[in-house]
Structure 1
């Protein structure tokens, strides 16, 4: 796991000084070293977090025979098998780096190389002979990759903050992305919240040649695969073999591995699989809030850790203290995303960073195996919503703000942009018609929107801000294809989802964990936006540049007042606060890093 950045120019030499500035802005992603390759019109830069072959695996990596050069972020989990296949074909490796397999896979298979790569990755590969640059992202979008295409060059980076300097003018907000964020807590699709910066999509490769011509191609997207199980027991046996292989691959590391253990079924099952491996994690970590208004699964986590004989650490957090971390978390998140859970994830990342560089996590289990209750929506309710919002199938139709509040709050250009907030969900619903069941189609929508643009943004950015790599076994593409292709009754039964995972877990985890209803990871928003803070926010927010440009200051002031006794308005206030902080950091201060303990009020004053 690392940070990458670079320049490919077709009209003038690539600036080494600019590339150095870009990678310096990503130093948090790679605290173990920095490397830059520069040759006329190309600069490839890499900030390294050393996990595989720490001594010899520095990047950029070069294919000595062809002159091709690579910088990569992530892990190729099947690199040992690939290395053997490529060595048998006559390739000679210079390092033990997992990423070196990408260089030779390109020479051997060209664009078909993606069929052979198991892992999470974002990489830039310069093909010297063809004078072209490949920018590619893993199938699910676990690793980020952003680009700015100008008239004479393409600039790329792991985070948007590294691209701010190369924009033609001061950073500007993209209203469509901000409008979507306000209505669903994240923005999805190709455009970022900064005008002129785009994302390479999950499962996509962008190819730019030396004339400036570019093309994008999708090499993978979630789709059903043929499965033929005669019984649930047979499917569970296949699940056991598949997950055992996948978790073993995810434990590949030359440094210690820990695991985030929530106490729920997903992280507990990952830990159960991991303890069967020779490279088992040496620490399970759990976070819990002192506030009793939110779920506390720390006792369940402790039960699982004791059951599996794994060292366990519980960290208890006072929600009132988390607000001091918010400006730093917004900076780390980089993209405009307001998931409350970024706060405890950041705290856990800081704690684990002192002893570990790699953490396993349970993200993806709900999307892949139908864990969320929304996949079991009553048919009548779904059809009614589908009638009210055509093109959605009745899924992902409820915005955060009611129209009457948003119309009063936003200036007309942003309000008009926000009205199309569910476009990515409608597009995904249409693409999901390849699935025969409604629930699988819903899962697909979440897998291509909510998952890469909310959950994985939170995991990658908050961990990498502290130099920690997050790995997500449930999001191996083979597991995703398996889960989406299971018959309905193997995924959900009655009001419970993840049937196949629960059935497997009966033999490997305490029954209390297997039978528990999904609680979700909740954060005490009332403790973060507590009463004493509201007076300060009522004074500060209306005076900010973000509010004065995009909102009506008087409406913001009224909203702060109403949030004192109304939980809905407290959520509205959270959305405004996140946007204001993001705007201050990314638009007004060019991505400057706040202190991790800088209070909101000091930051906005």
Structure 2
């Protein structure tokens, strides 16, 4: 996992190499193991990379990387979990043991069609020195961030929107700020800056301006079964453990992380919480049952606020959620050689874990946007923007309430959580991997009958059965709090979120 930067400009003096290097420095925290900038075409092209070395951590796998034929250059962030299978399938000749080279040589051999075969998390830009063209792509579910500024004379892509905004002199987008106050993130396709766009999950963008979706939410499976799901999940978890460094995992007292740890081979896990509110006893119970080590990381109230401020300054835009500070604290406590951390994001979307909203949708005669936002929103006194309302109506048009809510959580909520996890882990120079957020699992579970996932009393039924089969019943009977920043249960989430926002906005000095 890394940070990437790509600049294509008609005027080579507009963003000289020294400014591109400064932009790379701005996101050095995304990849402290190596940093390099390559300039091509007399200064019209800059490719920059910050590397967190995971696969083949030797300098030979540093980026930007050039294809064997000398035609293509790549900057890549993420992991391709099926890279060894792709190498064998296409007979690729390699000089490194990295997934970066498989991606690059596979593209050189097969072009865009190779992207459709990738299983993993990724954001990358490939430049063709023969034609001068470039293309960029982002993984199906939006695990890895990718942001773009484009005009007739200039294109800038990077892992961090603040990096792009600083290069092009962009200002904060006040509509995005309003959306953040209510929904914790901007509307899909936007960033917190007026002229910086989010490359959407599953989207490929070309230098000429055209684009295509190489993956979208569609029903691929009409024969869901517990056994089929569990077998696929187990395979995906093991695939996500592929690395040349030590792996670990986050462990709360709940179901999702317990399933991931149970199916993995990690030996040391981490739990984090406030001194006044945590799940340490529950996490310790799960760790003991699974015979894994557990490290408990405690954050005081003052330290929580200070970490909000420090992380906001580092990111250069609003944090997504208050518990980014807790995730960052846990990742910061990990050993230097523990670079990969497995987490449970995506389980609630796959298995209808937000049970109150899903049960409301199952009983609703139709999808009512206002009623939904009253239940989902994080502020009672902030109205949705017009562009968000338009986006939501387009997403949910013609759908039943339950289908609309399922699509909303995959299209809006999950990418926001993944952005939180990516930043909070990368700020501590760790690579978070999210096995539940795998397109094969989504393809398997999407539009499965609701009764397979949720009942009147339980949600995430297949995950519960998977734990019961392993005789791990502790997480099944606990009230979930996760890595919560609520020190007192009586505090309403709106009040806590408003307190969090106040500190974030004060640090940013945004209106």
Question: 1:11: Cα distance to partner?
Answer: 4.6
Matched, 1:575 2:501: yes
In the alignment, structure 1 segments of 5+ residues that lack a partner are 230-234, 275-279, 407-414, 528-564, 588-605
Label 1:509 to 1:579 Cα distance change in 2 as closer, same or farther (>3 A). Answer: farther
Matched, 1:336 2:318: yes
Superposition pairs of residues 368-407 of structure 1, within 5 angstroms: 368-378=350-360, 382-383=364-365, 386=368, 389=370, 394-398=371-375, 399-403=377-381
In the alignment, the residues of structure 1 paired with residue 311 and residue 488 of structure 2 have an alpha-carbon distance, to the nearest angstrom, of 18
Counterpart of 2:223 in 1: which secondary structure?
coil
8 Å contact from structure 1 (residues 147, 198) kept in 2:
yes
In the alignment, the residues of structure 1 paired with residue 202 and residue 316 of structure 2 have an alpha-carbon distance, to the nearest angstrom, of 21
Label 1:65 to 1:380 Cα distance change in 2 as closer, same or farther (>3 A). Answer: closer
Question: 1:174: Cα distance to partner?
Answer: 1.0
Q: What's the counterpart of residue 415 of structure 2?
A: 452
Q: What's the counterpart of residue 359 of structure 1?
A: 341
Counterpart of 2:253 in 1: which secondary structure?
coil
Question: 1:368: Cα distance to partner?
Answer: 1.1
Q: What's the counterpart of residue 76 of structure 1?
A: 80
Q: What's the counterpart of residue 281 of structure 2?
A: 299
Q: What's the counterpart of residue 177 of structure 2?
A: 178
Question: 1:567: Cα distance to partner?
Answer: 7.7
Task: Calculate the TM-score normalised by the size of structure 1.
Answer: 0.78
Matched, 1:427 2:401: no
8 Å contact from structure 1 (residues 148, 196) kept in 2:
yes
Q: What's the counterpart of residue 48 of structure 1?
A: 51
8 Å contact from structure 2 (residues 365, 401) kept in 1:
no
Please give the per-residue CA displacement for 1:447-502, whole angstroms capped at 9, x wherever unaligned.
1111112x112111111111110000001110111122422221112232111111
In the alignment, the residues of structure 1 paired with residue 45 and residue 338 of structure 2 have an alpha-carbon distance, to the nearest angstrom, of 34
Question: 1:517: Cα distance to partner?
Answer: 4.6
Question: 1:334: Cα distance to partner?
Answer: 4.4
In the alignment, the residues of structure 1 paired with residue 499 and residue 230 of structure 2 have an alpha-carbon distance, to the nearest angstrom, of 45
In the alignment, the residues of structure 2 paired with residue 566 and residue 239 of structure 1 have an alpha-carbon distance, to the nearest angstrom, of 36
Superposition pairs of residues 153-192 of structure 1, within 5 angstroms: 153-167=154-168, 169=169, 171-192=170-191
8 Å contact from structure 2 (residues 366, 401) kept in 1:
no
In the alignment, structure 2 segments of 5+ residues that lack a partner are none
In the alignment, the residues of structure 1 paired with residue 488 and residue 223 of structure 2 have an alpha-carbon distance, to the nearest angstrom, of 49
8 Å contact from structure 1 (residues 86, 104) kept in 2:
no
Task: Pick the aligned partner of 2:268 from 269, 280, 283.
Answer: 283
Q: What's the counterpart of residue 9 of structure 2?
A: 9
8 Å contact from structure 2 (residues 148, 155) kept in 1:
yes
Counterpart of 1:105 in 2: which secondary structure?
helix
Task: Pick the aligned partner of 1:472 from 434, 439, 443.
Answer: 434
Label 1:486 to 1:175 Cα distance change in 2 as closer, same or farther (>3 A). Answer: same
Matched, 1:319 2:282: no
In the alignment, the residues of structure 1 paired with residue 319 and residue 242 of structure 2 have an alpha-carbon distance, to the nearest angstrom, of 31
Label 1:126 to 1:424 Cα distance change in 2 as closer, same or farther (>3 A). Answer: same
8 Å contact from structure 2 (residues 454, 461) kept in 1:
yes
Matched residue count: 505
Label 1:457 to 1:509 Cα distance change in 2 as closer, same or farther (>3 A). Answer: farther
8 Å contact from structure 1 (residues 192, 335) kept in 2:
no
8 Å contact from structure 2 (residues 161, 196) kept in 1:
yes
Q: What's the counterpart of residue 202 of structure 2?
A: 203
Question: 1:329: Cα distance to partner?
Answer: 1.9
Counterpart of 2:310 in 1: which secondary structure?
helix
8 Å contact from structure 2 (residues 279, 482) kept in 1:
no
8 Å contact from structure 2 (residues 305, 503) kept in 1:
no
Question: 1:577: Cα distance to partner?
Answer: 3.2
Q: What's the counterpart of residue 439 of structure 1?
A: 402
8 Å contact from structure 2 (residues 187, 387) kept in 1:
no
Q: What's the counterpart of residue 27 of structure 1?
A: 28
8 Å contact from structure 1 (residues 332, 461) kept in 2:
no
Matched, 1:247 2:237: yes
Counterpart of 2:123 in 1: which secondary structure?
strand
Task: Calculate the TM-score normalised by the size of structure 2.
Answer: 0.92
Counterpart of 1:228 in 2: which secondary structure?
coil
In the alignment, the residues of structure 1 paired with residue 9 and residue 387 of structure 2 have an alpha-carbon distance, to the nearest angstrom, of 35
8 Å contact from structure 1 (residues 397, 422) kept in 2:
no
8 Å contact from structure 1 (residues 491, 500) kept in 2:
yes
Q: What's the counterpart of residue 457 of structure 2?
A: 495
Counterpart of 2:452 in 1: which secondary structure?
helix
In the alignment, the residues of structure 2 paired with residue 257 and residue 347 of structure 1 have an alpha-carbon distance, to the nearest angstrom, of 17
Please give the per-residue CA displacement for 1:216-264, whole angstroms capped at 9, x wherever unaligned.
22111222112325xxxxx222122211211111101111001000121
Question: 1:400: Cα distance to partner?
Answer: 3.6
Label 1:19 to 1:309 Cα distance change in 2 as closer, same or farther (>3 A). Answer: same
Q: Which has the larger radius of gyration?
A: 1
8 Å contact from structure 2 (residues 273, 299) kept in 1:
yes
